[in-house]
Each structure stands twice: as structure tokens, then as C-alpha cells.
Chain A
């Protein structure tokens, strides 16, 4: 009793303590659903153990109502570490890298479960992953191989449509580069680590990052995402054909298609390269530094002749279009009406674009056909521009004659008035 009297505080303090206890208990009952001892403790943990409620609230899983327990097990309602992280309560602790795909797949491969969150979301990611180079290496015991969380991040995982997501089209290349551009990390695999550097100079990256075209290709567009593998040498054209369908059709008709296949050369990549694909230009057909034909063909041979003829045709049409543009611009600046010719210049440009696509057949006759169609229009338009300027000169001569006639009339009238009034 004496002990009790000594240990108990004064009556005021006792009442305050009791009141505080009541509020804590009341709060716990009232908000029992929101109690998450995991976050309460881990928000104060150092380094990689730190997971704050702010961070986790950004995670799509948290937004859909899942909690730490959904993946890690345990009892989030208990503040007793022994109970909260009890194996009996199903606590798994840090998920072993090897187990990550399986754990994610336990929900994401379950169509009926996933349907309640997003009926349009695919559920074959895990199967795809098993076919990927990453999945195969992981299965072989290589824990450096990428698992779900390496690309999608963890605890703040956002849907791909979110621009802040690591797998948003704009960010994919950078996400892949975290491993694939790390020479030390990739050393044991013996593959290049300059893909991201090359891609950053490519026309595809330009379309994506500069022009903001989210449909422009990034790593996953050609390699796949969950089933990521390098396209086989004989399959490259199929990958490129997904977007460049006409070029692929033309290429299939060409002799190169068969020759490259026999020589195990990777189709499109032979001329255009893979990651560092630059905007194609007519110079690729030339013999200068940008030329690609002369890498294989000997100057003066039959194919070199075809190359020169095609290049000549393209240059001719390109020049004719530019000349027509200049003539029409000049006529327009003189106030002449040449909008019809201006409009049909687009057809000439289309013919040039078509000819540049037809090049992939490497048949001079087919390219020539497109070129001639364009030339006909461009020459006619150039003539329209020149005719407009001739017409303008005629107008000025006509105006001069009229003004002289008017001046003569004025002088005549003035003399007549003078005579009348004299």
C-alpha cells in the first residue's frame, strides 16, 4: 500500500494520466482500421529500412487498399515488435530477390483477383518474365538479374501512366540504363553498356523526349518489357516492322533480305544501327562519311551503279521541290495567287517520301517510278511560279500603258478646260 502511495503520482497527475490513457485507447478503437505499426516504426528507420507513410501513400497498392501486410505478412495492428514481426503471424521480413516475381505474381497472375482492381490489366507478366533473359538468369541463380521491383520500384510504385513512374514511357530508358549502363555491374555478362548513350542520340529518343511523342519507341518497345530479350538477328526486321510497315514490306522484296539472312546479318540494323538510330538522310546512299552502301559494296560494281542512280534521282526530286518552293514563294511575295500549286507541292513531297521508302526494295525501276511522279508535279509547280512572275510583269506593263493613257487623258482634259476658260 505504501508502495502504491509512493509510485502513484498526485491526484491531479493521476487524473491527467488516466484521461490521456482514455484518449489513446479511444483513438485506437476509433481508428483501429488505420493502425499500421509497420509504417510507424519504419518511418523512423535509417537507410533502406525507411518507409514513410508519405512515400507509401504514393504507391498504387496503398491507394487500392493494400498494406505492408499484404506482401510482408505480420501483424500491423501490434506495436509489440515480437508480435508484429512474428513468423506465426505470417511475417516474411525482407522479401528474398528470388521470391519477388513469385510474390508479385501471386496477385498479378490471378485474373479473377486482378479484375476487381483493373479488368484491362494483363495477368501474364510472370509467365512473360520466365521467358525473359532476366527471368532465366534469376532461375539459374543469378540474383543480379532484374526482378519486378528493380524496374517498377518498391513502396512508391506508381502506375505506368503516371509521368513519375519509373516505367512511364519517358522514363523507361533511364530505368533500364541504371543497370545496363553500369559497366561494373554488367561486366560479367560481356554485353555493351553504351545502349543508353546511343539511344540518347537517336531519332527515337528525340521523338520521345524532345517532341513528347509517347508512342515513340523506347527500350521495351523493341525488346519487350516483362519478356525482355534481345531480338534475334533474323527477327530484327519484324521488330522494326511493327512501326515501319511499308519499309519492311519493301525490304522483304529486296535481294538484301535474302542475302542478309544467309549471312546472319541483322536486317535493318546493318544500315540503320540499333540503339543510335539517326534520322535517315539521302547521304546514307552517298559515298561520304554518312554513306552506308560503300561499307559492303565496291565502288564501280553493279550495285554501286544502282546506288548512284537512286541517289541521283532523289537529289533531282529534292532539288526540283526546293526550286518550285522558291519560285512559288517569290510569286506569293509579289502578291500572285499560287495557292493551288502550293497545295500540290505536298503531293510532290509525298512522292519523295514514298521514293525514300521504296529505296528499301533496292530496285532502281521502282524508285524511278515514284521519282517521276513527284518530278511531274514539282516541275509543273515550278512552272506555275515562273508563269505567275511572267504574269506579274505583264500586269505591270499593262498598268504602265494604262497610266500613260490616263496621264494623256488628264493632260488633254486640262488643255480642253484651259481652252474653254480662256
Chain B
């Protein structure tokens, strides 16, 4: 029956022609191959985000007077609404986590090297956009924590010299965080960002498909020295079935988190109360937030916060351009980049943990 259906579709859509390149595509098999799965898991979680986001849109109402109540309605009255909202929230966090893991695995496996510089650049931009998804989506339930986190976050953006204030006013839709900010963030979250991210994912996947999977330099060198030891598996169906297993594991973890730890709704935002003590951003912004907190208010003649924002922006830019600093001709640069990458990972984890334990 299934085979007949496939045959019927193949006669009309020429599926074999589409699948044929996939049948020829191979994936290197080595002791570090499992890191390849994280990109796929991130894509899977993005698909989950799109699907659950569409379902949430059926009931969500953007507006300072309705947003909180509509999410409350979704969680208490809509059949399986709690599950959809909880999966959407957990999946967002897991997606950012797996994107970080994917990115650092790419760095440590040196997968960004020539000719994959553009794959790296699109990937890093995707990570920034995904964090933008997190920032804009966090405000949508219009609860107290989200309100003040947005206030602090947009204030930090406002510290950028010259263009900071116009950016802040653009993000907020005015001088203060109000219902106008919520409407604006909703627009970014459900229209602007998904559009850009979909295009970039398409480019990213096209590049992965076009250039194939990267092999770590040491493995590559070993294979070049011992060609019989080179191992590969077919992308379709062998690797794809394994990737499917990884997606199932991710789905199980996501379901368990959503069911056992439903995402909290919090208390409705009140712009007239003072910010809760010890307010912190979401975990993926915590390392930057903690960095800004540790910088003195004045460094020489420069405002500490301005210096922090500029420093973070510069670090982000350098990170984006990472492949262009590495050249095959200068091995010392490679060592430097590996050292800096280890430092970056330790710094991000260390500052995040410090941000959680610090008052």
C-alpha cells in the first residue's frame, strides 16, 4: 500500500530524481560523528517552534490588556494549551542550547575552515537571530519578569553611542516599555524574524548540502595517511535514520520537560511597581549581563556600560569573522584560535554560573 503510494507519487513528481543526490551524498564516520547531530536537532526544535507558535497564535492576543489573560486562557481553558505553550517555551530554550553546542562543536572540530566560511557566518547570524527570538518572545506573556527584563535589555541597547537611543526607541515603540513595545515585539517574533531565519536556514542547509560534512583535521590527516581506514555512511537513509533517532530523543526530552516542569506564567506586568529585586535575564543572555555588571561605572573616561556594550558587540563581530582569521599558512594562528575558543567557552559557562549564584 505504502509502496504503491510512493510509486504513484514518483510517477507524477519524479521523486527518485530528488532523492538520487541524497543517495549519493555520504557522511564521514569517525569517533566524533555524533556532534553532527546537534545541527539537525536544532533544526528539529525550530520546526517544533514554528508549529507550536502557529497553534499559540490561534488564541494569543498581543496587547497590554489582553496578552497575559490570553496566555492564561491558553494554559487553563484550551485543550492541551498548557502543553503547546510549555513545549514552545522549553523548545525555545533547548533550541538555543543546541545551537550553542552545535556552534562550539563546529569551532572545536574546525568545521568552519575554507571552504565553509559562509556556512559559519550564516550559522552565527542564525544564533544571533535565535537569541532575538528568545528576547522578543520572552515579553509576549506580559508578566512582571518579562516586562522588567525587556526594560533592562532595551536600556542596554540604548547605551550604544550615537545609534543606541534611536535603537532603543525603535525597539520600545516610544520612550518606555508599553503596550506598543509588546505589539512591536510580537511583530518581530512572528513575522520579521521567522522570515529572515527561514531564508538563512535555507542558505545554511544549502551550503551544508553543497559542501558536505567537514572532517576534523586530525581525522582527515589520519585518513590521508591510511586511506583504507576512511569510513563513510550514506546520508540517505543511514545517517537520516540516525538523525531521526536523535530527533525522537529530543522529542522525548522536550515532552518530559514540558509535562514535568510546565513553564510558569508568573504575575501580570504592572508598569507602576518597582522592579523585583535581583532581576536577571534569561540564561542565554546572563553571561553578557554579568559582564556588564562587573565592569566599573567608569573606565578611564569611558562610561563602563558603554564600554561593555561596545566590547560585547566587537567580540560578536570577531566571532562572526572567525574563519577569516585562520590561515593554513600560519599554524600559530590556529593555536591562538583554539585557545581563544576554549577561553570563550569557559567564559560563557563561568559567567552564566556566576550570574546565577551572584546576588
Contacts and interface: CB of A to CB of B under 8 A. Distances in A.
B219 interface: no
Interface string B262-282: 101101000000000000000
Contact of A337 (B82, B251, B256): B82
B313 interface: no
A60 B82 CA distance: 66
Query: A336, A395, A413 — which one has the most chain B CB atoms within 10 A of its CB?
Result: A395
Contacts of A413: 241, 244-245, 248
Contact of B76 (A340, A403, A409, A420): A340
A300 B55 CA distance: 65
B304 to A, nearest CB: 38
Nearest to B268: A339
Interface of A: 335-337, 339-340, 395-396, 398-399, 402-403, 406-407, 409-410, 413-414, 416-417, 420-421
A421 B238 contact: yes
Given A337-B75, A339-B265, A417 B241 contact: yes
Nearest to B242: A417
Interface string B175-191: 00000000000000000
B76 A337 contact: yes
B238 A399 contact: no
Contacts of B255: 399, 402-403, 406
B316 interface: no
Tell me whether chain A's interface is mostly helix, strand or loop, or mixed.
Answer: helix
A340 B72 contact: yes
Contact of B259 (A340, A399, A416, A420): A399
Nearest to A340: B76
B238 A420 contact: yes
A396 to B, nearest CB: 6
11 contacts: A335-B264, A337-B76, A339-B267, A398-B259, A399-B255, A399-B256, A402-B255, A403-B252, A406-B249, A413-B245, A413-B248
A417 B237 CA distance: 9
A410 B249 contact: yes
Nearest to B237: A420
B259 A396 contact: yes
A340 B73 CA distance: 10
Return the 3 tightest CB-CB contacts between A and B, nearest first: A399-B259, A335-B262, A406-B252
Contact of B72 (A335, A336, A339): A339
Query: A339, A414, A416 — which one has the most chain B CB atoms within 10 A of its CB?
Result: A339
A409 B248 contact: yes
A76 B264 CA distance: 76
B72 A414 contact: no
B161 to A, nearest CB: 43
Contacts, number: 53
Contacts of B241: 413, 416-417, 420
Interface residues of B, number: 24
B16 to A, nearest CB: 19
B57 interface: no
B2 interface: no
Contacts of A336: 262
Contacts of B76: 337, 340
Contact of A399 (B82, B249, B260): B260
Contacts of A399: 255-256, 259-260
B300 interface: no
B261 interface: yes
B251 A406 contact: yes
Contacts of A398: 259
B3 to A, nearest CB: 16
Contacts of A335: 260-262, 264
A413 B256 CA distance: 21
Contacts of A409: 248
Given A336-B262, A339-B265, A410 B248 contact: yes
A337 B262 contact: yes
Given A335-B260, A396-B260, A406-B255, 18 more contacts: A335-B261, A337-B76, A337-B262, A337-B265, A339-B72, A339-B267, A340-B72, A396-B259, A398-B259, A399-B260, A406-B248, A406-B249, A410-B248, A414-B245, A416-B241, A417-B238, A417-B241, A421-B238
A332 to B, nearest CB: 9
Nearest to B255: A402
Interface in B229-250: 237-238, 241-242, 244-245, 248-249
Nearest to B263: A335
Nearest to B257: A399
Contacts of B264: 335
A82 to B, nearest CB: 67
